[in-house]
Amino acid sequence: MGQCGAMTEVTETQLPGVGVRHEFTTAGGDRTSVLSHRTGRRELAIYSRSDPDACSTVLHLAAEDARTLSELLGGNPVGEAASAVQRLEGVAIDWIRIRPGNDRAGTTIGDGRFRTRTGASVVALVRGDQTVPAPGPEVALAAEDIVVAVGTPDGLRQLRRLLEA
């Protein structure tokens, strides 16, 4: 999966029958993870410094608590969409960069007929610091844009081929 903007490196682990866990190390050196249960419940865990495999603190969050916390922390809609999408089987999300000199730069999303051809939908464009959520067919792609798309893994592969051609 691609990365957008400056972000700490996050590792993803599947927990069969439970959900998915994302881990990262904070700038201060604390290992932290967010466990997303299939039910929408979250657990925020901080790992023990003496035993890095075990959690020293676990905070249990109901779905609405998690939303409140992410708002307080300044969560972004794209990231939230991404984690929501990951809970759906067979649906994937991808970030695709439009390289400078690409023929696609300057053409609109409608021109590309991406959804008709690949089944994948462009759900957002990340342009520098700005995010264009749910861009319409009239929105033109520009070099260095990051296209955020949702679809089947197959559809996303086709879309990547079209956009990187």
Partner 1 sequence: MIPLVAAASGEAALAFVEIGAVALLLSVLARVAGRLGITAIPLYLLAGLAVGEGGVAPLDVSADFIGLAGEIGVLLLLLTLGLEYSADELRHGLRSGAVPGVVDAAVNFTPAFLVGLVLGWEPAAAVLLGGVCWVSSSGVVSKVLTDLDRLGNRETPGVLNLLVIEDLAMAIYLPVVGALVVGRGAGDTAVTVAIALAAVSLILVIALRWGDHLSRLLSPATDEALLLAVFGLTLLVGGLAQKVQVSAAIGAFLVGLALSGSVQARAAAVVGPLRDLFAATFFLFFSFSVDPADLVQVLVPAAGLTLVGVLGKLVSGWVAARSVGAGRPGRLRAGSVLIARGEFSIVIAALGAASADGAELGALAAAYVLMTAVVGPLAAKNADRLAARLVRTG
Judged by the rule CB under 8 A, the positions of this chain that interact with partner 1 are 13-18, 21, 33, 35, 38-39, 43, 45, 47, 50-55, 58, 88-90
d(CA 147, CA 160): 10
Q: Based on CB atoms, which residue is closest to partner 1, 86 or 131?
A: 86
Q: Based on CB atoms, which residue is closest to partner 1, 32 or 76?
A: 32
Minimum gap (Å) between residue 54 Cβ and partner 1: 5
d(CA 128, CA 131): 8
Q: Based on CB atoms, which residue is closest to partner 1, 33 or 118?
A: 33
d(CA 43, CA 99): 38
Q: How far is CA 95 from each of CA 8, 63, 123, rounded to the nearest angstrom?
A: 16, 26, 10
The answer for 120, left when phi > 0, alpha when psi is -120 to 50, beta otherwise, is beta
Q: Based on CB atoms, which residue is closest to partner 1, 13 or 107?
A: 13
Which residues are registered as beta bridge partners of 140?
108
Q: Based on CB atoms, which residue is closest to partner 1, 90 or 100?
A: 90
Minimum gap (Å) between residue 130 Cβ and partner 1: 33
Structure tokens, 91: 């649906």
Minimum gap (Å) between residue 17 Cβ and partner 1: 4
Minimum gap (Å) between residue 56 Cβ and partner 1: 10
Minimum gap (Å) between residue 15 Cβ and partner 1: 5
Structure tokens, 88: 């759906």
